[in-house]
Amino acid sequence: MIVTVNGVRTDTAPAPGQCLRTLLRQHGHTEVKRGCDTGDCGACTVLVDGAAVHSCVYPALRAADRAVTTAAGLGTPDDLHPVQQRFVDAGGFQCGYCTAGLVVTAAALADAPGPTCANRASEAPGAAADLPRLLKGNLCRCTGYRSIEDALHGTVNTEKGGGPGRSLPPPAARRVVAGLEPYTLDGSTPVAPLHLVVLRSPHAHARITSMDAAPAWAVPGVHAVLTPDDVPAVPYSTARHQHRTDDPDDTLMLDRVVRFRGQRVAAVVAETVAAAERACRAIMVDYAELPAVFDPERAAEPGAPLVHGDKVDTAAELRIADPAANLVAQRHAELGDVEAGLRAATTVVEGTWRTQRVAHASLETHAAVGWLEPDGRLVVRTSTQVPFLVRDELARLLSLRPERVRVLTARVGGGFGGKQELLVEDLVAVAVLRTGRPVQHELTRTESLTATPCRHPMRVGVRVGADADGVLTALAIDVLADAGAYGNHSPGVMFHGCHESMALYRCANKRVDARSVYTHNLPSGAFRGYGLGQIQFGIESALDELARKLGIDPIELRRRNVVRPGDPVLADAPDDPAAPSDLVFGGSYGLDQCLDLVDTALRAPSVPAGPPGPEWLVGTGVAAAMIATIPPRGHFADASVTLEPDGGYTVRVGTAEFGNGTTTVHTQIAAAVLGTEPDRVTVRQSDTDVVGYDTGAFGSAGSVVAGRAVHAAATALREAILLAAGRLGDLDPAAAKLGPVGVQSGEVFVPLTTLAAAGAPLVGHGRHDGTPRSLAFNVHGFRVAVHPGTGEIRVLRSVHAADAGTVLNPEQLRGQIEGGVAQALGGARFEELIVRDGRVVTDVLRQYHLPQFADVPRTEVLFAATADDLGPFGAKSMSEAPYNPVAPALANAVRDAIGVRPYELPMSDDRIWRLCAGRPGALPPAAADPGG
């Protein structure tokens, strides 16, 4: 058939049943992204004869004799379509994986006649109100949509040039909006890759008694079948940390025992995905089903089915707390005397809060492609936050020297902690070594939702007491986390989640009882906030209830109890009382400002919107959060900056870019130190062959750890340049000034190009070890209206104050906060991976409700005026922290509105309706959910 793509007549023959997206990507149009396969996310949006369609559900054959336009057909980086330019100017993306689809949708709106022309909003007053409907088909997981709305309205948020403090757009912005910035599977391989598909377990717990791969080998196009006999039997954890011993080695690449539905059983490598899928179905597997446990409370009881009962004898070696009790990790520690503190209290609040499973839902699923270099070295390009840690673990699993493995990333389409795991790279590596051919493995959206780690569900019991003045006398938590079938990240999530949530408050008597237990559910893992979001939901709710009982304003109660500079930062008893804490307040403490900012904003008379009607109940709620801005026990970054022959600079740094914005910030830091403009700085990153070691982009470390390393490297280079100029130009380096194109001292000027050509390369190196740690703070406030007859919650006002130290890039930081708030609102209101008997039933995005444009209220973002002694230019990190106070702030506002406290997430309409039972417009109490 003939299809015209971006004006080019293309003769093609689609495979039977092939969708237009796959056809376009086969023809090199990698600007058409794969996000869901079901027409829900919009990352694959293209124009067909001018109409926007989701090309993943549009049959390729229907495009015959039609004109298809992709993002790359709208404009090029040098000649952008006006809509694309608006996305650059507004800063309308973070990871950018949704952007090529969004600009196509927006372009269609721009060309549409009538008042629905969204990006002519200033000309068409009715347009803005129509955006929730018009953008329903395009999801963005990163931004919270405000910057996208700004792009559609033509608002300019970014600034040209400048160093820290200015809203520089990302260096890749023009390529991202044109769809030409490559993501993991958009780059080339030496020859066309084979495709790897995984056969997954239909059982939650079973022993594989036999496996016959012969029928799979008989499928045409099959190059390899991988069974447990074909891969290394080396225990490891999918979780990646600087210290690999932080996580239990409870996983095998392919195990003979399956412990959750969706676990890998075998894999096939074939010429096409279809052939590999067909061969997977042909593998004959016999299972002996075993008893399973899905409830963490039951799993913790004596006699429960054991998830890792085969590891009882090797528990210490594998670092599992107690496999005979399904226990991954635990902590029980007390500071002071909690029971005495509770007895001394005039008011005590006790309660149990529950949080659900939440999916990361990065629009780019986990994917990797690998190949061999001519000398036999293994190369893996993967969608990861931690390329160096993946390289080191691949080398360990495959018994290779690390220098025989190269791991790199392209731009990563979202992470949120989900890509701090090794989930696809290992099988790709084995398949490459087995076949000698490039091999690609891309998880489907359903695999992503059902077989990759989610946020830990937790049960959080809180007991808190205070005297009549509201001063805390005791604070205790009892946490039970569902680790799922494997313990990846479970110890860290549990410890971290308990730590800063408890350490936020000064109290002489504190106790933490926390357990993380195995079940036969899909594994839990790292998720934005690393446990704090769940535990703070309980603690911040309990404090709100305490304030109510005491008749003290909730913000005032926090003012009286939050930690202050000079306080120890302790969740419970210190492990080593003699050891000084590596947590310090540095030169910045902005929590008091954050509380004041939210307090003032919520009291302001200019509330933008009142309740929709007289039957609505209105309430206000706040919550606070603290986060240590650098992960404990080591987060390392080595960076270098080189003066190039053309007088520009190249920064080499390991941090992956996945919407965290570190590329922009590192550019700004280097430019400021070197006295030049950002467009003279190029960043090369996240390639183990090309840049210095970096632990990875997690724990909000990209700006403060790698940023410090970049700062140090640029400073070293600056000194080297001045010294070299001194020698060459016979000038005093101490009196000379480094400018954008050369060194000036009095009348003497030495061009950078001359220095670069004069001799040895001019390179500065910098390193940072991530310690000591500083603390960042967030406070969120909501005013809401709740309809008691439906349970609907409408956000009338959302305000978020952040203490991030010096704000290096205001628009980017605002976007990070808005995105964190939007993601947290999804988890607070409706996101839930529903699991029944171990089966994830919300296995497509249509069933897993990601926040759409219409779901996300605009949040007013305010910054504390602080500067930190530790971070680069006084900055602290702020990428995951905004998530944490949102759910409790919303719950507290709902409690204020309806007089009943939500104890369970998500606060869906039906749950809130049940809480409202007995109120006018709701069913009588007898109809309420007894568990609600």
Residue 97 sits in the site that holds ligand FES (CB under 6 A): yes
Query: Smallest distance from the beta carbon of 238 to ligand FES, in angstroms?
Result: 23
Q: Which of residues 55-94 bind ligand FES (CB under 6 A)?
A: 93-94
Contact by Cβ (8 Å): 667, 676: no
Interface with ligand FES (CB under 6 A), residue from 101, 341, 414, 523: 414
Which is nearer to ligand FES, 360 or 511 (by Cβ)? 360
Query: Smallest distance from the beta carbon of 877 to ligand FES, in angstroms?
Result: 19
Interface with ligand FES (CB under 6 A), residue from 96, 538, 692, 874: 96
Residue 817 sits in the site that holds ligand FES (CB under 6 A): no
Which is nearer to ligand FES, 585 or 883 (by Cβ)? 883
Contact by Cβ (8 Å): 264, 486: no
Residue 766 sits in the site that holds ligand FES (CB under 6 A): no
Which is nearer to ligand FES, 141 or 259 (by Cβ)? 141
Contact by Cβ (8 Å): 56, 44: yes
| Residue bearing tokens 């090029």 | 76
Q: Which stretch binds ligand FES (CB under 6 A): 95-103, 181-189, 416-424, 798-806?
A: 95-103
Q: Which stretch binds ligand FES (CB under 6 A): 134-142, 177-185, 394-402, 537-545?
A: 134-142
Q: Which of residues 183-222 bind ligand FES (CB under 6 A)?
A: none
Integer Cα distance of 273 and 34 in angstroms: 14
Query: Smallest distance from the beta carbon of 7 to ligand FES, in angstroms?
Result: 27
Mutual angle of helices 532-550 and 490-503, in 10-degree steps:
30
Q: What are phi and psi of 802, to 5 degrees?
A: -130, 140
686: left (phi over 0), alpha (psi -120 to 50) or beta: left
Interface with ligand FES (CB under 6 A), residue from 47, 60, 98, 752: 98
Q: Which two tokens stand for residue 674?
A: 């070197």
Query: Smallest distance from the beta carbon of 78 to ligand FES, in angstroms?
Result: 23
Integer Cα distance of 180 and 860 in angstroms: 33
**Site for ligand FES (CB under 6 A): how many residues?**
13
Q: Which two tokens stand for residue 156?
A: 């300019």
Residue 826 sits in the site that holds ligand FES (CB under 6 A): no
Contact by Cβ (8 Å): 326, 518: yes
Contact by Cβ (8 Å): 358, 455: yes
Q: Which of residues 607-666 bind ligand FES (CB under 6 A)?
A: 659
Which is nearer to ligand FES, 132 or 228 (by Cβ)? 132
779: which strand partners? 624, 801
Residue 363: count other Cβ atoms within 10 Å of its Cβ. 28
Which is nearer to ligand FES, 98 or 428 (by Cβ)? 98
Query: Smallest distance from the beta carbon of 446 to ligand FES, in angstroms?
Result: 19
- Starting from the edge strand earliest in sequence, which strands make up the sheet with 860-863, in order? 617-628, 775-786, 793-803, 860-863
Query: Smallest distance from the beta carbon of 55 to ligand FES, in angstroms?
Result: 17
In Å, what is the CA distance from 531 to each residue of 110, 164, 239, 417, 641?
Answer: 43, 31, 15, 11, 36
Query: Smallest distance from the beta carbon of 99 to ligand FES, in angstroms?
Result: 6
Query: Smallest distance from the beta carbon of 849 to ligand FES, in angstroms?
Result: 16
Cis before residue 772, ω within 30 degrees of 0? Answer: yes
Contact letters (x/-) for ligand FES, 343-382, by CB under 6 A?
A: --------------------x-------------------
Contact by Cβ (8 Å): 457, 423: no
Contact by Cβ (8 Å): 462, 538: yes
Q: Which stretch binds ligand FES (CB under 6 A): 139-147, 196-204, 276-284, 521-529?
A: 139-147
Interface with ligand FES (CB under 6 A), residue from 6, 143, 519, 908: 143
Strands 860-863 and 793-803: parallel
Integer Cα distance of 26 and 571 in angstroms: 54
Integer Cα distance of 879 and 703 in angstroms: 9
Which is nearer to ligand FES, 501 or 823 (by Cβ)? 823
Q: Which stretch binds ligand FES (CB under 6 A): 135-143, 194-202, 527-535, 721-729?
A: 135-143
Residues interacting with ligand FES, by CB under 6 A?
A: 93-98, 140-143, 363, 414, 659
